[in-house]
Amino acid sequence: MLDPTHPLNGLGTAFGSARAPLPVELRALNYEASGKLVIDNANLKIETRGITAIMGPNGAGKSVLLRLMHGLIAPTGGEILWGGRQMDRELSRRQAMVFQKPVLLRRSVAANIRHALGLRGVGRKERAIRVDDALKLAALERHASTPARVLSGGEQQRLCLARALSLEPELLFLDEPTASLDPASTLAIEKLLIDAQRRSIKIIVVTHDVGQARRLAQDVIFMHHGRIIEHGYADSFFDTPRSEGARAYLAGGLVL
């Protein structure tokens, strides 16, 4: 970031990242919990550099899939490859995730970012710089020393996103990041995501919001009953969904 030769400096952006290796690949991925096949033989190859949206009714397995791809839980079968390499601990440290419900430490706004950077082994000086950048990014400079948990819902989610971005991930997962936010807060998050994507961070986001997926996504994955039913370009998915499930889901009908 301080490096004037940094290729991203021309964009006037806060956080630079190495270009994410692609594709993200799932091969015959299974996840079984309490005797139930929650992820059922998922095969997938995400190659787009744009934002990928995962959609599907509640209980489809979207959150579990994200946690598998991020290495938070281990698959019971199959494999996950990223840039051709087996998912492992080192790789998952090049990723970040924003959870559906903001998880904030019982510390100040700035301390939340600082602690995250510390856990990733970022040095003291660099940490201070990135904390400032993240606060600016989230428009939370005024709240730097506010207890994080008294922020509004929108501010909390912005903080979570800025904290994730401060880690300079190559791949960023988000699980329904705007599910409980008002339109203005939602827009602020979307703007941050578009900025991040332009800085070549690969983004995979679970959303129920068709409008949001249309605004953000280059490609859409549709899940149902633990299976990946469709994966295609956003335009064609929304205009001509191929599966019955996706048609019903998009029509706002009951998907059974």
Ligand X SMILES: Nc1ncnc2c1ncn2[C@@H]1O[C@H](COP(=O)(O)OP(=O)(O)O)[C@@H](O)[C@H]1O
User: Largest Cα–Cα distance in the chain?
Assistant: 55
Residue range at the interface with ligand X (CB under 6 A); choices 20-28, 58-66, 81-89, 146-154: 58-66
- 13 counts as binding Mg ion under rule CB under 5 A: no
Q: Which of 242, 199, 203 is nearest to 50 (CA)?
A: 203
We find the least distance from the C-beta atom of residue 150 to other proteins, in angstroms, to be 8
Q: Tell whether the torsion through CA atoms of 25, 15, 193 and 200 is positive or negative.
A: negative
Q: What is the DSSP letter of 240?
A: S
- Sheet-wide strand order for 171-175: 95-98, 171-175, 202-206, 51-55, 217-224, 227-233
Q: Among ligand X, Mg ion, other proteins, none, what does residue 28 contact (CB within 5–8 Å per kind)?
A: none
- For residue 60, state whether it binds ligand X (rule: CB under 6 A): yes
Token pair for 114: 């600082």
Q: Which option in Mg ion, other proteins, ligand X, none does residue 60 bind, with CB closer than 5 to 8 A by kind?
A: ligand X
Q: Which residues of the shown chain bind other proteins in the complex (CB under 8 A)?
A: 67, 70, 72, 92-93, 96-97, 99, 103, 105-108, 111, 115-116, 119-121, 147-149, 167
**Residue 207 in the binding site for Mg ion (CB under 5 A):** no
Residue number with CB closer to Mg ion (20 or 161): 161
The strand pairing partners of 173, in sequence order, are 97, 204
First and final C-alpha spacing in the chain: 49
Considering beta carbons, is residue 63 or 185 the nearer one to Mg ion?
63
The site for Mg ion (CB under 5 A) is made up of: 63
The site for ligand X (CB under 6 A) is made up of: 33-34, 36, 38, 56, 58-64
